[in-house]
Structure 1
Amino acid sequence: MPISPRVAPLQASEFDTFINQQAGPVVIDFWAPWCGPCRALAPTLERLAKNLEGVVAVRKINVDEAAELASAFGVRSIPTLILFKDGQALSQVVGSQTESELVKWVGSAF
């Protein structure tokens, strides 16, 4: 039986409510299904979400379905990960990242 993904899709209409209701940091992955680097990063994000469960929320937003939201955050290439805390964007990284790089990056929110 496959493991259910921890990095659930987030719709643009749910975005503001979601990031403002989280007690801790939130990582949003701006991605697209046709993007090879995005698909390559997906297992790393799943491990991050599993290992930091209860500490950080990780969600993904399809830029093809949420172009206005991506544009509002200056997403010009994908994958782009944006780290939020208390509803505010703290920082972003673009491109492939290792799990250890992501853990360190998320740790900057504390």
Structure 2
Amino acid sequence: MAIVKVEDQTFKATLEQDEVVLVDFWAPWCGPCKMIAPVLEELDRELGGKLTIAKMNVDDNPATPGEFGIMSIPTLKLFKNGSEVASIVGFRPLNDLKEIVQPHLN
């Protein structure tokens, strides 16, 4: 699978579309966001058939981050069946992300 871009208007539809969705709230000027991007690409390569990874630019889409109280970026939120099951703030290595995500995969 490929990492998808999501916007305020498409956010809810993205959560409804797939069982497990990991959303990356990021901005182009954010250094740690740039650091986690290749980690998410690797996670997508390894687990892409089991979850959807979506990226939301917080500068272009302020409503959804506001709704979820995003105060720092990168923030990753894991959703299962449309409900938030985990939240990760800041950079994390691949193995940490896999440990958080895998219990929620079928």
Counterpart in 1 of 2:92?
97
Gaps of 5+ in 1: none
Identity over aligned pairs, percent: 37
Shift in Å, 1:107: 1.6
1:75 paired to 2:70: yes
AA of the residue aligned to 2:30: C
- With normalisation by structure 1, the TM-score equals 0.90
Counterpart in 1 of 2:9?
13
d(CA) in 1 for partners of 2:68 and 2:104? 18
d(CA) in 1 for partners of 2:50 and 2:88? 19
Counterpart in 2 of 1:47?
42
Gaps of 5+ in 2: none
Flag as ranges the 4+ runs of structure 1 deviating above 3 A.
none
Shift in Å, 1:49: 0.7
The root-mean-square deviation of aligned C-alpha atoms, in Å, is 1.3
d(CA) in 2 for partners of 1:108 and 1:78? 24
- With normalisation by structure 2, the TM-score equals 0.93
Q: How many residues align?
A: 105
Shift in Å, 1:31: 0.1
Q: Equivalent residue of 2:99, what SS?
A: helix
Q: Equivalent residue of 2:63, what SS?
A: helix
Counterpart in 1 of 2:80?
85
